Amino acid sequence: MALLKIAEPGQSPLPHQQKRAVGIDLGTTNSLVASTRGGRTEVLLDAQGEFMLPSVVSYADAAGPVVGAEAREAASEHPADTLVSVKRFMGRGRLDSTEEAERSHYRLADNSEGMVRFVTASGEISPVEASAAILSVLEARARETLGGDIEGAVITVPAYFDEAQRQATKDAARLAGLPVLRLLNEPTAAAVAYGLDSREEGVVAVYDLGGGTFDISILRLHRGVFEVLATGGDTALGGDDFDAAIVRWAQELGELGQLQGGQYRALLALARAAKEALSSAESTTLDLARVVPGAAPLSLDREQFELLIQSLVKRTLRACRRCLRDAGVDEVDNVVLVGGSTRVPLVREAVAESFARQPLADIDPDKVVAIGAAIQADILIGNRPDGDLLLLDVIPLSLGLETMGGLAEKIIPRNTTIPVTRAQEFTTFKDGQTALALHIVQGERELVSDLRSLARFELRGIPPMVAGAARIVVTFQVDADGLLQVYAREETTGVESSVTVKPSFGLSEDEVTDMLQASYSYAESDKLARQLAEQKVEAQQLLEGLHAALAADGSALLSERECQALHEKMSALAELLAGEDLPAIRASADSLGRASEAFAARRMDRSIREALSGVSLETLDKRMDKEPGQ
Amino acid sequence: MSSPDFKQNYFELFGLSPAFAIDSEQLAVNYRQLQRDLHPDRYASAAAHERRLAIQYSAFVNEANTTLKSPLKRAEYLLQLAGMSREEISAQKVDGGFLIEQMELREKLESLPGLVDPEPVLEHLVDEISGDIRNHQAEFATAYSADDLPAAASACVKMQYLEKLLQEAEQAESELLD
């Protein structure tokens, strides 16, 4: 006879209540949202039954941004106020963006510092705000479909995104009010979508050619563990460049002369349509009269189109070869195609030839990333207690520090598995030097001037010593999202300084707060109430976690006195939670958190020992798996 | 920043005996098992301090895996376990013949920008360097198992030179061709 289960007072009697989690593919050209319901992961549709939301935001109307197909239609009429491919500007400074902006006929604000801003009819808009507008539309779609607020989102980014671009993406989610569970690399998401369904094993290459970016990743799949071996790509290469190649060809051949902003957009639209048509047809016609009245139509066949894009496709293949070498593998078991641009027949043929494999494309290449992200979101939020999935990702670009003479010292090389912590020792170069300026950079080149500047901070208060006597340890820590924290500590005195890297081309904390306030017009008291609520949730989480941990391991891993001490602090915090004293709750939770750290560490140490005693079993059945073939 | 005290050396962590030739299959299996338990994603809804701890543990396991997986890093680590500092390793002398070979390889690398079609030459160069690296790995393994630390360190330094050259060749590839 089954025993009846009775929940402890205060605990949820419904342990498997599903939380609302989504995966979002925030793309250069289109964005999608997907979710898992009733065991099936699907992309969510809008009221018109469409799953793709064009990543276009129009600020032509001061009443507020218009997002999607409607905004795209307005593009040729209001080119400067309609932001397309805004993802290309995320985390970028003004100087990096001028060429791109000119091509798109945007007006840039002249802030020389911080992230680029567009001047529109609705005022200055940052790429983060435009991305937040896109996310808000997807969030609203998900809320309607799933019947309630979204409790967690996994948002995908190109594997090749740098620190500034990742941080900008996270800021956009914050602005849109979406709780981010994780930033996930797009190729990894695609591998999850394929790997989990088919229980795939072996080495997989994910070839992801989107509208604006190209990513290649090599992963090893093993029983639900997705280990990224290497990743590479090009942040400025995608299907948009195919369109641009057609535009240049048409401009020249059709003798169209200098084009105005709206005309350029119209020609671009023709080029895109021609490219899409050539995925199935052998030839197509560009009706140039729609760009310049009276211009003769131009015919484009597939052969000519392939000539135009050949060098671009070759560039992607070279990146693939480098990535294979970085991964240390000679061949792959499978190739997965992601991104709308992989519909181009030449791309498919070239990939198949290069990897000597027919690529997989069973899942719609437009949907596969969002679906993988939704699966990961479902697991991270705790909807699949038995969901045996683990993603081990890498950093795409090396992280380092500027040293003497404008050279960079790499602290963490690219393709290092995250999370990662690395320390390096530095010293002072002048007698009596009391401060050290740290300049954090990202990229592969040797000269700092060729690298992306991430952040600067200073370690002050070093006691005067002779040059070379101070021992300054700089520690870089990258978390599972690929975001960096840097600590510096002078070892002889213990002077410390740290920075959560807010990229030079990011938004400052104040800017984000201002934007949040502008969008919700928070009163000061609302802000406090919100902070209190957040702090209480976190404290509650801490208490619940500790209760469970103590019940499981308290007697085995703690002395009676240690146990007693923790219980006292827990009761103190529980009592404070009944009240409204934010600083006291915060202090008490901090103190409990610190006091319980040793216990948590002992539990993890034990995990290490147990993990390995369990491993011998896995090794054993691994051998058994192999037996028949040997 | 407080960090957990990790007393185990990397070989012990993965249950391997300290040697240059390792069972890479066992390393991979044990690595995945440890990350299954310690990765911060496993603590996505845990309290902040526990997540921080998970990052540190997981980072330690990653560092150990990265070190043992790479033949060069594994060689350096074995020498360090045997009591040699990084400085002592890099102060190790290498023979003149090796240095001349290095200069020749480097000259080939530097001549690439002047070639009409550098791609096949570069590919051949990369193959040559990779082959040399494998030879010196074998040299290290023999010296290390015979407890000849100076010879092992010398092989290790050669591996360092060649790895650096390989990186430069790859850098040249992306600069020349893209």
**Cα gap A602→A595, rounded to integer Å:** 13
**Cα gap A13→A9, rounded to integer Å:** 9
Tell me what pLDDT residue B177 has.
65
Tell me what pLDDT residue A617 has.
41
Contacts of residue B65 in chain A, CB cutoff 8 Å?
Answer: 417
Written as six digits, the tokens of B11 are 């070989």
Mean pLDDT rounded to a whole number for chain A: 83
Q: Report the candidate in A219, A330, A416, A356 with the shortest Cα–Cα distance to residue B130.
A: A330
Interface test with A, best of B8, B58, B69 (most A CBs within 10 A): B58
Q: pTM of the full predicted structure? A: 0.79
Tell me what pLDDT residue A177 has.
86
Residue A566 has pLDDT above 50, yes or no: yes
Q: Report the candidate in A393, A399, A480, A412 with the shortest Cα–Cα distance to residue A187.
A: A393
Tell me what pLDDT residue A525 has.
60
Tell me what pLDDT residue A516 has.
58
The full length of chain B comes to: 178
Interface test with A, best of B26, B62, B68 (most A CBs within 10 A): B62
For strand A152-157 and strand A21-26, is the pairing parallel, antiparallel, or unpaired? parallel
Percent of chain A residues past pLDDT 70, beyond the cut: 87
Tell me what pLDDT residue A343 has.
92
Average pLDDT over residues A366-386: 88
Helix (H), strand (E) at residue B104: helix B96-111
Residue A389 has pLDDT above 70, yes or no: yes
Residue B92 has φ and ψ, to the nearest 5°, of -65, 135
Q: Do B34 and A392 touch (CB under 8 A)?
A: no
Residue A87 catalytic?
yes
Average pLDDT over residues A574-581: 89
Tell me what pLDDT residue A628 has.
35
Residue A9 has pLDDT above 70, yes or no: no
**DSSP letters along A29-64, please?**
SEEEEEEEETTEEEEPP-TTS---EE-EEE--STT-
**DSSP letters along A562-590, please?**
HHHHHHHHHHHHHHHHTS--HHHHHHHHH
pLDDT range class, residue A2, cuts 50, 70, 90: very low
Q: Is the dihedral of CA A171, A172, A178, A184 positive or negative?
A: negative
Residue A240 catalytic?
no
Selecting among A46, A81, A87, A163, the annotated active-site residue is A87
Tell me what pLDDT residue A511 has.
67
Q: Do A234 and B178 touch (CB under 8 A)?
A: yes
User: Is residue A206 classed as helix, strand or coil in its secondary structure?
Assistant: strand
**Cα gap A57→A60, rounded to integer Å:** 9
Per-residue model confidence as pLDDT tens digits over A232-283: 888 778 898 999 999 999 998 887 778 887 888 889 989 999 999 999 999 9
Average pLDDT over residues A147-171: 89
**Cα gap A306→A120, rounded to integer Å:** 37
Tell me what pLDDT residue A266 has.
87
Contacts of residue A480 in chain B, CB cutoff 8 Å?
Answer: 39-41, 55, 58
Q: Environment class of residue A590 by beta-carbon count within 10 Å: exposed (0-12), middle (13-18) or buried (19+)? A: middle
Contacts of residue B43 in chain A, CB cutoff 8 Å?
Answer: none
Q: How many CB pairs under 8 A join A and B?
A: 141
Question: Rounded to a whole number, what is the distance in Å from the CA of B114 to chain A's nearest CA?
Answer: 20
Q: Report the candidate in A389, A242, A533, A315 with the shortest Cα–Cα distance to residue B42.
A: A389
E runs forming strands in A129-170: 152-157
CB proximity list for A400: less than 8 A, separation 6 or greater:
A408, A409, A410, A411, A412, A440, A441, A442, A451
Average pLDDT over residues A139-164: 90
The full length of chain A comes to: 630
Decide: A412 and A422 in contact? Cβ < 8 Å.
yes
Average pLDDT over residues A102-114: 76
**For A19-33, A157-171, A436-450, A503-517, which range has the lowest pLDDT when averaged over its residues?**
A503-517
Residue A621 has pLDDT above 60, yes or no: no
